[in-house]
Structure 1
Amino acid sequence: MAASHSPFTRFVHGESFAGLLLVGTALIAFIWANSPWRETYFAAQHTHLALSLEDARLDLSLEHWVNDGLMAVFFLLVGLEIKRELLIGELSSRRRVALAVTAALGGMLVPAALYTALNVGGPGLSGWGVPMSTDIAFALGVLALLGSRVPLGLKVFLTALAIVDDLGAVLVIALFYTSGLNLTFLTLAALTWGAALYAGWRGAFSLKLYGVLGVLLWFFVLKSGLHATIAGVLLAFAVPIRRPDPADYLASLAEAAKPGRGEVVGARLRDLEDLLERAQSPLHRLEHALHPFVTFLVLPVFALTNAGVPVAAGGFGSVSLGVLLGLLLGKPLGVVGGAWLAVRMGMASLPRRVNWGHMVGSGLLAGIGFTMSLFVSNLAFDDSVLLTQAKLGVLLASVLAALLGAGWLLLGIRGQAPSGRDDVQVDLPR
């Protein structure tokens, strides 16, 4: 038991480790793409892998398998977190919703406006959605490194902000970064999603069922012209959050808990673990199962595949400047401005022990765009030079936003007397 509570174990399973893992893989990709062996990096990106099932064949490059396939799992996890927060989490409170929504809207609109002003009439205008997003793993990872010196209310606010921000990014991708639609596959996708929604409404608790429907939904959405990752969010909203009827497992639980001989204790403990697992809602079970897969595989592979930016190829142009200013300046202005408006209008109030200095720090951390901003960059630009400029702006802005946000909060904390423990404990989305 001691090992499970060791500092290293807590660190590995925390947001700080997730953020550092992303930084490490992104750094490897960046160095590789600018090394003498850069050609092997781009050759690996464009290596094609095909899957065939009878007459159906899917042939995609490794880059597309990651961005369209693995990232659909990431968006599934994002969708599960959004649904949980809306129904039973931090977004179920009207005043907390008002603060998070107005801050997130400001944090999306102001960066987009700044970017557009710098690129209006130019070939890079389509990248206006790049500086709108916040990387929740990075942002919460920086806060985790600051420890208990940061008020718990600020962590809760930044989490809610990032969740609303993710929802906004999903809507932007669906509405503005979608190619021509294939009505046949779009209809098949709608029918599959309808079947998943019906299963959730009827209380189907089998994750295998949602897995099969999810694969079909992903394939139909991919072929429909919508971006395939939208399938992950659609499936998440079908997975039920309510728990099974206790009567279905209490008798089995009591039987498994009966004392027995030593040789059967281990088997009964496994039965108890299985029953307790099944007592959770499908949403919680799926979220718990996906979290380590996304944290330790999907996001690092995405970073390794997409953060390789050859600096000499694109240079620093208006696209890079628009992304940089959008994330570094537009994000804090929009987040703090939106939050101030909500408080001023009496719609919301600041979280406990959080002041406006803390809010500026959260606005700076919201400028860490990384995962979602890199993802939108791939959708916004077909031109390799503009794509390189956008990615360079994202990487530079994300590093600076992390440093500025952490520095701002540390300077605000320094010299203050310890404020004591928060009396409310909240489990942050993982």
Structure 2
Amino acid sequence: MPDRRRPSIAARIGAMGQNRIGALILLLATVAAIVWANVADGSYTSFWETHLSIGIGDLHLEFTLHALVNDALMAIFFFTVGLEVRREFAIGELTSWSRAMVPVIASIAGLVVPALLFVTIAAPSGHAGAWGVVISTDTAFLVGALALVGPRVPGRLRIFLLALAVVDDIGALSIIALVYTDTFSPLPLLVAAAGLAGVYFTRYLRSGRGPVYATLAVIVWLAFLASGVHPTLAGVAIALLVPVYRPNRRDVEHALELARTFRQSPNTEYARAAANSLRESISINERLQSAYAPYVAYVILPLFALANAGVVVDGEILAGALQSSLTWGIVVGLVTGKFVGIFGSTALMKSLRLGEFGPGLTLDRIAGGAALSGIGFTISLFIIDLAIDDATAQNEARAGVLAASVIAFAVATVVFRVSDAVHPEIETGRTLVRPVDSTRDHTYGPDDARYTIVEYGDFQCPFCLKASGSIPEVQRELGDDLRYVWRHAPLTAQHPNALAGAEASEAAALQGRFFEFERALFADQEHQLPSDIVRIADQLGLDVEKFERDLESGEVTGRVRDDMLDAEAMGITSVPTFFVNGRRHVGPFDAQSLIRALRTAPQPEPQLQPRAEPRS
């Protein structure tokens, strides 16, 4: 029987759970701030205006608690944003223009349209210059809200929204630097530039990088503060210089060797060496993201909300907000502007067949994501503090941000519920969501064959090994009437090397040797460590240097991830899973059962495409 364990993409549930908890804590902090400001407005204001002095002798800095949160702690938040931006451009969704085109254009439209609507509506208030309040989506709330109310299979929508949020953050940070910097002194920026150069070259130190990074980060932050450029941008500048890379095979092998040495001779020295080697095999960027993410989600952002979301709500203020063009400019800009900009641009791209839309990224799902993007909490509140001086206007603006976030969440919830009703999960799982394309898929057999089998599998799964033995018998029986297609659904939670094997097969495919590599992996499922994979490539006569380079490429990882997202979109929870003539096969997968299923299944429409690589 097939392996019923979840495919690796389901491991994201844990991460989504963390996002959900972070969003709930942020929401509780927001509610606490509003309650505190209304129950004891005087104590709320006076507490956050408490002055602190930090320093020694004549060297000291003076902050209010509010400034400490907004200028210092938020620099760490923006640092994590910068790390994510750097990662996406290096090895993530934004490495390929065809893949990045849709979220990039949607994000730009989602910046421009809200700003135009805001300026048009808020002009009478005299605060049209605060248009930056409506440009940015709150990534933390966006991801948390998607986990709470998103569609049943949010994989591709989540990736689309995260890529969109990265571009959105770049735009927001650029606008903060260019538009909302009041005073500017160039000399301290020379010190910052020297510090940033030091950050870049720190990667070449053999040890002790952590203290050096920390010291230089403080120097750069102080230099930004002295220059007049908002010091939170120091976090972004530093993050963009932190190296990011996929784990190198040799580093992984070295870590494994040290771990084996420690197992044979346990002692402190070997334990430290093994731990250091394992840590160093992961890029500094990803290590820092993992280290800081809990503090940002559970401490920094809730503290920011507590310090900035304290809107005084009484009859007079509500009446003023309801009549304020500033408030309505923010509500319309965030709720309507974000939706029109993001959904309108993606709908236009889809109709013109521009960019790459994968299965599951339908217009109704994008509509829900576009509505959810109207939650402009963190950076919106941040820019209010920079762009508006009048206390009454700040209250009206904060009320607008909170109202817009609630409305956006409610609208998105309705859209997602309707979307799930229109596209029931059970029906989606019965039909192959991505048609076979011989220019993309790994196929054996003619494209005009009467019958097509698509298999989602895992090279370390014993049931997939059994199924792979059935396919040749089906091919002998049906001959040129059969087209066979392999797609990836690795179960990394149970098979630690399954994802590496899938990516290695794609690297081999770039040299035209996918099926040979597939057979070699199935022939020895117990030995698929990085050294084993390279040994297989060498035995097959591949260009090993090119093979190793391709293993670290975005093209290879993206290809495997696309298959995994297809599997998630169809609710595939076991492998092997077969689709016979586009319909999901239920039952045994021995050769005779598959042949009977093929002969009794409805015939698909023939697709005349160039013949793909043969499976000899």
Name the TM-score, length of structure 2 as normaliser: 0.63
Higher mean C-alpha displacement, 25-34 vs 198-207: 198-207
Match for 2:183 among 156, 165, 180? 180
SS at match of 1:242: coil
| Residues 1:195 and 2:198 aligned together | yes
Determine the C-alpha separation between the residues in 2 that align with 1:27 and 1:124: 27
| Residues 1:55 and 2:58 aligned together | yes
Gaps of 5+ in 2: 1-10, 430-488, 490-561, 567-616
Correspondence list, 1:100-119, <5 A:
100-119=103-122
Q: Which residue of 1 aligns with 2:359?
A: 352
Determine the C-alpha separation between the residues in 2 that align with 1:245 and 1:393: 48
Determine the C-alpha separation between the residues in 2 that align with 1:236 and 1:286: 10
One-letter code aligned to 2:337: G
One-letter code aligned to 2:65: L
Q: 1:248 to 1:103 in 2, by over 3 A?
A: closer
Q: Deviations over 1:135-176 (max 9, x none)?
A: 111111122124661441111111111111011100010110
Shift in Å, 1:260: 5.5
Q: Deviations over 1:37-87 (max 9, x none)?
A: 221111111001111134321101000000000000000000000010111
Q: Is the 8 A contact 2:123 2:325 kept in 1?
A: no
| Residues 1:30 and 2:170 aligned together | no
| Residues 1:131 and 2:131 aligned together | no
Q: Which residue of 2 aligns with 1:279?
A: 281
SS at match of 1:149: coil
| Residues 1:402 and 2:406 aligned together | no
Q: Which has the higher contact order (CA 8 A, sep 6+)?
A: 1
Q: Which residue of 2 aligns with 1:84?
A: 87
Q: Deviations over 1:307-327 (max 9, x none)?
A: 101124753011111100001
Q: Deviations over 1:283-317 (max 9, x none)?
A: 11111111111111110100111110112475301
Determine the C-alpha separation between the residues in 2 that align with 1:24 and 1:337: 33
Q: 1:245 to 1:34 in 2, by over 3 A?
A: same
Determine the C-alpha separation between the residues in 1 that align with 2:272 and 2:565: 30
Q: Is the 8 A contact 1:200 1:238 kept in 2?
A: no
Determine the C-alpha separation between the residues in 1 that align with 2:163 and 2:251: 34
Shift in Å, 1:94: 1.2
The structure in which a higher percent of residues are helix is 1
Q: 1:259 to 1:67 in 2, by over 3 A?
A: closer
Please say which structure displays the higher CA radius of gyration: 2
Match for 2:157 among 151, 154, 158? 154
Correspondence list, 1:264-413, <5 A:
264=266, 272-312=274-314, 314=317, 315-316=320-321, 317-413=324-420
Higher mean C-alpha displacement, 294-303 vs 416-425: 416-425
Q: 1:249 to 1:365 in 2, by over 3 A?
A: closer
Determine the C-alpha separation between the residues in 1 that align with 2:150 and 2:263: 45
Higher mean C-alpha displacement, 342-351 vs 194-203: 194-203
Determine the C-alpha separation between the residues in 2 that align with 1:408 and 1:205: 51
Q: Is the 8 A contact 1:135 1:368 kept in 2?
A: yes
One-letter code aligned to 2:118: Y
Q: Deviations over 1:103-157 (max 9, x none)?
A: 0111111111111001225421121110111011111112212466144111111
CA RMSD of aligned residues (A): 2.7
Q: Is the 8 A contact 2:151 2:420 kept in 1?
A: no
Q: 1:194 to 1:341 in 2, by over 3 A?
A: farther
Match for 1:163 among 158, 162, 166? 166
Q: Deviations over 1:183-202 (max 9, x none)?
A: 22122122222222343478
Aligned-pair identity in percent equals 35
| Residues 1:424 and 2:564 aligned together | yes
Q: Is the 8 A contact 1:136 1:159 kept in 2?
A: yes
Q: 1:125 to 1:260 in 2, by over 3 A?
A: closer
One-letter code aligned to 2:280: R
Q: Deviations over 1:363-405 (max 9, x none)?
A: 1000010111111111111111111111110011111111110
Determine the C-alpha separation between the residues in 1 that align with 2:212 and 2:352: 46
Determine the C-alpha separation between the residues in 1 that align with 2:47 and 2:70: 14
Q: Which residue of 2 aligns with 1:15?
A: 19
Determine the C-alpha separation between the residues in 2 that align with 1:267 and 1:40: 54
Shift in Å, 1:358: 1.3
Shift in Å, 1:265: 7.2
Q: Is the 8 A contact 1:257 1:268 kept in 2?
A: no
Q: Deviations over 1:324-374 (max 9, x none)?
A: 000110100001122234344543132322221111111100001011111
Determine the C-alpha separation between the residues in 1 that align with 2:132 and 2:331: 13
Q: 1:206 to 1:375 in 2, by over 3 A?
A: same
Gaps of 5+ in 1: 1-6
Q: Is the 8 A contact 1:243 1:282 kept in 2?
A: no
Determine the C-alpha separation between the residues in 1 that align with 2:104 and 2:50: 41
Q: Is the 8 A contact 2:16 2:144 kept in 1?
A: no
Q: 1:255 to 1:127 in 2, by over 3 A?
A: closer
Runs of 4+ in 1 over 6 A off after TM superposition: 201-205, 243-249
Name the TM-score, length of structure 1 as normaliser: 0.89
Q: Is the 8 A contact 1:16 1:145 kept in 2?
A: yes
Shift in Å, 1:205: 8.1
Q: Which residue of 1 aligns with 2:432?
A: none
Higher mean C-alpha displacement, 228-237 vs 141-150: 141-150
Q: 1:255 to 1:412 in 2, by over 3 A?
A: closer
Q: 1:250 to 1:230 in 2, by over 3 A?
A: same
Q: Deviations over 1:244-278 (max 9, x none)?
A: 8776786575344236589x479866653443122
| Residues 1:214 and 2:217 aligned together | yes
